[in-house]
A and B are shown apart, each in its own frame.
Chain A
Amino acid sequence: MRWWHRWLRTPAELRELGVVGINMRNARYILPNNQRKLYRLVDDKLQTKALAEAEGLSVPKTYAVVRSPRDISRIDATLAEYGSFVVKPSRGSGGKGVLVIDGVEHGHYIKPSGAVVTGDDLRSHLSNVLAGMFSLGGTRDVALVEYRVRPAKVLTELSYQGAPDIRVVMLHGYPVMAMLRAATIESDGRANLHQGALGIGLDLATGKTIRAVHHGSPLTIHPDSKVPLIGVQIPDWEEILHIASICQVMTGLGYLGVDLMIDETLGPIMIEVNARPGLAIQMANGVGLMRRLEPVVDQHLKNPHASPEEKVEFSKRSFRTVAMAS
């Protein structure tokens, strides 16, 4: 450890560690592997869900699609039979505009935090969604109302409120890295890392948690609930990797991130596919992405026609990681 490590790492050191920067991710992995015309498949959740359903993947059940002001005015009646649901913009990104409703009381909607959302609040949120306030480029959008996932108990224990989700990054159909994102008090129920959520690295071979970071610095217990974070087994790991590899095949994207949640009863559910997955996953795993991406590129060149199962096996064999000492 040198004196400057408190503030920064030199480019040579980062290269040594195999860290991928934004410029490199864009120029080397996203631009050459992800065709522009495929973006619409994943930028529009309605289309992604249709694709996934055709492949037989489980996705959150759609309760309603709100397309027009007329749909908004009838929303109370449409949702009358559901006690909990999630509203999200079809073309939103980074969790923007997602509204989670946990229960209905006296005609008011209740958020998981206990905050009350009136019918008017809900309608104005929907009209903001339709006006494109949360969508990429501010274009007009539709709102999805869908099943609210009840996360498996193993996962809720790792998170302070909010539902933790799993992100698997894939290149050419090979899983390269995975992490779990868990909310904290600071992140206010959201799973966004730069808002203070925890990033927990996962071993691709076993699906066990290996390392956790909060704002970039490692830790071993949850800052709020003091639950140990390392060595926890994620259920249905094989199924999760399988879903991720199907998502790669169905979208045709070379480099992508697949977001999943694990439901108490339904098991792993595919939430969305991201064509520009972020780089914080490297910090959560303590491994530079380059260490994973380069072997995959070689393997893909050597063996271009490998089946999805063979690819997953390759990743599990090659990218085994041991939990950090706690």
Chain B
Amino acid sequence: MSTRWKLWIAVLCLVGLGLGTAYHKSVNLGVPFWRGEQVRDWEIEAKVSFLATGKRVKARLALPARKAGVGGVMEAGSLGYHYSTQRDADEATALWTAEERSGEQSLYFRIRIPEGSASGGEPIADKFDPARESYLTGSVAEAAKTIIGRITSVSKDPESLFAAVYEQVFSGDGTQELALLSRHYSKEHRDQGRIRMGIDLLEMAGIPSRVAYGVKLEPELGPQSPVPLVEYYDGAYWKVRDPMAPGAVLDAGSWFVWHRGGGPLLDLTGGESSKVVFTVVSERVPLSSLTNLEHSPLLISTILGLPQAERAVFRYLVLIPLGAFVVVLLRNIVGIQTLGTFMPVLIALALLEIPPVRAIVMFSVIVAFGLWFRFLLSRLNLLVVPRVAACVVIVTLLMMLMSVVAHKMGMVGGGQITLFPMIILAWTIERMSLIWEEEGKRSAIVQVCGSLVVALIAYWFMSIGQVQYWAFYFPELLLVLLAAILLIGRYTGYRLSELFRFRSFGHA
């Protein structure tokens, strides 16, 4: 059988398999094929990880209370654990138990809520509950009293008192009393010191208050620690506020309050070094349509089968083949010269995070300075690998310097520069300087610009919403992409650049 037929059979199989699976998923399992206008869902996953000590393990994770108006689906995952949930009027907890566990353990709890629904921080009516007695003593107590005295002389109602207390606590440029108090609290409560201090001050002023835990609805954050919030009682209702923005009501679009009521978030016996990490993902697929998929073996063909923390990684991973496809297209059909075959893909990945104009400025500055430094280095006649390593050091320092300068100039996001692949940049500089010496600066600049153009086109392709949607929800379509790449691999026609290159052909 000739190679030609083998190729076509392979291509047909891949296209058939890819499109067939996608068709089945979309028609029979109800995953929408087009990125539509469906309501987005927030999917919030709590991951409890700890080191089991070999004894009986019992982990109790506080859950969002139904009473706060939170709807949505909840599910838990963990291998080898007995799992149950317990609910009473305002408390809900998930309970995992297992006999004799050791080593690293992970427990997952996942909830889905429709976007724009309640934040979980809505006021809850409650009967009056007097504030706790202060346990502060000595000079610390005196300092606290002075501060309260000063604040209550200006504001009386709980709302403004709360705002005034936290403005004081976080203002930093406080009085001696404040400095004394915050030293005391940071010793007692470490990073939660200021929040605890505010709570105690509020209690002393007669307003019952306690810690609540929230999750920021920002998928870009990746795995995040629970954010401590403050809940206070205004005489009729318990209200949750962000101490960093004490004046404002919690915005349901950017916050979800996971736990309130003052109890601990996690209660663990039989394990140590425990921590809770949240991952937030914005899902476009409506819940109801996923129920079919969950009972289908095809679940494995979607990334939805994975825990969220791992899923977030794939959000970018599935885009890399798309970038590679663009590179193949531009090199073999168009004929653009690039420095290094897949370097543009890595730059395009960085571009997804950094606004393109800024990214290009950063890239140019780093490459220009790096080249200059590389020419200085070349006078020292270093061996190749140490020279590239020296370039890595310089590139790193340049990145730091640029971030600092950008920050001082008041530009937000100077730190994004770290998203550029450093080692790749160093090699780019090295290769560029070699081409500069061997073939002249024109050739070097043409190739760097070619790489940037390819990177920009790859970025543009990878940032199309529909393309991202397909890559993420229909990864089997990558088989179709693979078929296209195979076909280009056997393309023997002219490259576009050759139409230009051979333009003077034929006239004598």
Chain A contact residues, CB within 8 Å of chain B: 1, 5-11, 13-14, 17, 19, 21-24, 27-28, 96, 120, 124, 127-128, 131-133, 138, 192, 194-195, 211, 213, 216-218, 282-283, 286, 288, 324-325
Among B384, B490, B492, B495, contact of A132 (Cβ-Cβ < 8 Å):
B384
**Chain B 258-282 interface 0/1 with A at a Cβ cutoff of 8 Å (1 = within):** 0000000000000000000000000
Range of interface residues on B (Cβ < 8 Å):
20 to 34
In the assembled complex, the CB of A125 is this many whole angstroms from the nearest CB of chain B, namely 9
B503 at the A interface (CB under 8 A): yes
Complex CA gap A128/B378 in Å reads: 11
In the assembled complex, the CB of A132 is this many whole angstroms from the nearest CB of chain B, namely 7
A-B contact pairs, 9 of them (CB 8 A): A6-B503, A9-B503, A19-B494, A19-B498, A124-B381, A131-B383, A194-B439, A283-B504, A283-B505
Residues from chain A with Cβ under 8 Å of B439 in the complex: 192, 194-195
Residues from chain B with Cβ under 8 Å of A120 in the complex: 381
Residues from chain B with Cβ under 8 Å of A23 in the complex: 332, 491-495
Residues from chain A with Cβ under 8 Å of B508 in the complex: 211, 218, 286, 324-325
CB-nearest residue of chain B relative to A130?
Answer: B383
Q: Which 3 A-B pairs have the closest CB atoms?
A: A124-B381, A131-B384, A24-B492
B501 at the A interface (CB under 8 A): yes
Residues from chain B with Cβ under 8 Å of A21 in the complex: 492-495, 498
Which residues 483-508 in B have Cβ within 8 Å of A in the complex?
A: 490-495, 498-508
Residues from chain B with Cβ under 8 Å of A5 in the complex: 503, 507
Q: Which of B443, B491, B493, B499 has the most CB of A within 10 A?
A: B499
Residues from chain B with Cβ under 8 Å of A6 in the complex: 503
In the assembled complex, the CB of B495 is this many whole angstroms from the nearest CB of chain A, namely 6
Residues from chain B with Cβ under 8 Å of A7 in the complex: 500, 503
Q: Which of A21, A120, A131 has the most CB of B within 10 A?
A: A21
CB-nearest residue of chain B relative to A188?
Answer: B440
Residues from chain A with Cβ under 8 Å of B499 in the complex: 8-11, 14
Contacts A1-B507, A8-B500, A133-B434 known; A127 to B383 CB distance under 8 Å? yes
B438 at the A interface (CB under 8 A): yes
Contact across chains for A24 and B493 when beta carbons are under 8 A apart: yes
Among A13, A19, A28, A211, contact of B492 (Cβ-Cβ < 8 Å):
A28
Q: Which of A7, A8, A324 has the most CB of B within 10 A?
A: A8
Among A22, A132, A195, A216, contact of B504 (Cβ-Cβ < 8 Å):
A216
**Chain B 363-396 interface 0/1 with A at a Cβ cutoff of 8 Å (1 = within):** 0000000000000000001011100000000000
Residues from chain A with Cβ under 8 Å of B504 in the complex: 213, 216-218, 283
Contact across chains for A9 and B502 when beta carbons are under 8 A apart: yes
Complex CA gap A36/B38 in Å reads: 53
* Interface of chain B: mostly helix, strand, loop or mixed: loop
CB-nearest residue of chain A relative to B439?
Answer: A195
Complex CA gap A192/B440 in Å reads: 12
Residues from chain B with Cβ under 8 Å of A213 in the complex: 504
How many residue pairs at the A-B interface have CB separations less than 8 Å? 92
Contact across chains for B492 and A8 when beta carbons are under 8 A apart: no
Residues from chain A with Cβ under 8 Å of B381 in the complex: 120, 124, 127
Residues from chain A with Cβ under 8 Å of B438 in the complex: 96
Contact across chains for B434 and A8 when beta carbons are under 8 A apart: no
In the assembled complex, the CB of A154 is this many whole angstroms from the nearest CB of chain B, namely 24
Residues from chain A with Cβ under 8 Å of B502 in the complex: 9, 14, 17, 19, 216, 282-283
CB-nearest residue of chain A relative to B506?
Answer: A17
Residues from chain B with Cβ under 8 Å of A11 in the complex: 493-494, 499
In the assembled complex, the CB of B454 is this many whole angstroms from the nearest CB of chain A, namely 17
Complex CA gap A10/B503 in Å reads: 9
In the assembled complex, the CB of A153 is this many whole angstroms from the nearest CB of chain B, namely 29
Residues from chain B with Cβ under 8 Å of A283 in the complex: 502, 504-505
Complex CA gap A303/B493 in Å reads: 29
In the assembled complex, the CB of A47 is this many whole angstroms from the nearest CB of chain B, namely 23
Residues from chain A with Cβ under 8 Å of B503 in the complex: 5-9, 216
CB-nearest residue of chain B relative to A29?
Answer: B492
Complex CA gap A120/B439 in Å reads: 24
Complex CA gap A132/B384 in Å reads: 8
Q: Which of B440, B504, B505, B506 has the most CB of A within 10 A?
A: B505
Contacts A96-B438, A132-B384, A325-B508 known; A216 to B501 CB distance under 8 Å? yes
Contact across chains for B505 and A17 when beta carbons are under 8 A apart: yes
Complex CA gap A120/B498 in Å reads: 43
Which residues 449-508 in B have Cβ within 8 Å of A in the complex?
A: 490-495, 498-508
CB-nearest residue of chain A relative to B383?
Answer: A131
Residues from chain A with Cβ under 8 Å of B506 in the complex: 9, 13, 17, 286
CB-nearest residue of chain B relative to A138?
Answer: B384
CB-nearest residue of chain B relative to A1?
Answer: B507
CB-nearest residue of chain A relative to B380?
Answer: A124
Residues from chain A with Cβ under 8 Å of B332 in the complex: 23
In the assembled complex, the CB of B507 is this many whole angstroms from the nearest CB of chain A, namely 7
Complex CA gap A11/B381 in Å reads: 47
Complex CA gap A218/B503 in Å reads: 12
Complex CA gap A286/B439 in Å reads: 25
Residues from chain B with Cβ under 8 Å of A324 in the complex: 508
CB-nearest residue of chain B relative to A217?
Answer: B504
Residues from chain A with Cβ under 8 Å of B505 in the complex: 9, 14, 17, 19, 282-283, 286, 288
Complex CA gap A11/B490 in Å reads: 17
Residues from chain B with Cβ under 8 Å of A195 in the complex: 439-440
Residues from chain B with Cβ under 8 Å of A17 in the complex: 502, 505-506
CB-nearest residue of chain B relative to A19?
Answer: B502
Residues from chain B with Cβ under 8 Å of A9 in the complex: 499, 502-503, 505-506
CB-nearest residue of chain B relative to A15?
Answer: B494
Residues from chain A with Cβ under 8 Å of B500 in the complex: 7-8
Extra inter-chain contacts (7) besides given A282-B502, A286-B505, CB under 8 Å: A1-B507, A5-B503, A13-B506, A14-B502, A21-B493, A131-B383, A192-B439
Contacts A7-B500, A9-B505 known; A27 to B492 CB distance under 8 Å? yes
In the assembled complex, the CB of A266 is this many whole angstroms from the nearest CB of chain B, namely 29
Q: Which of B495, B502, B508 has the most CB of A within 10 A?
A: B502
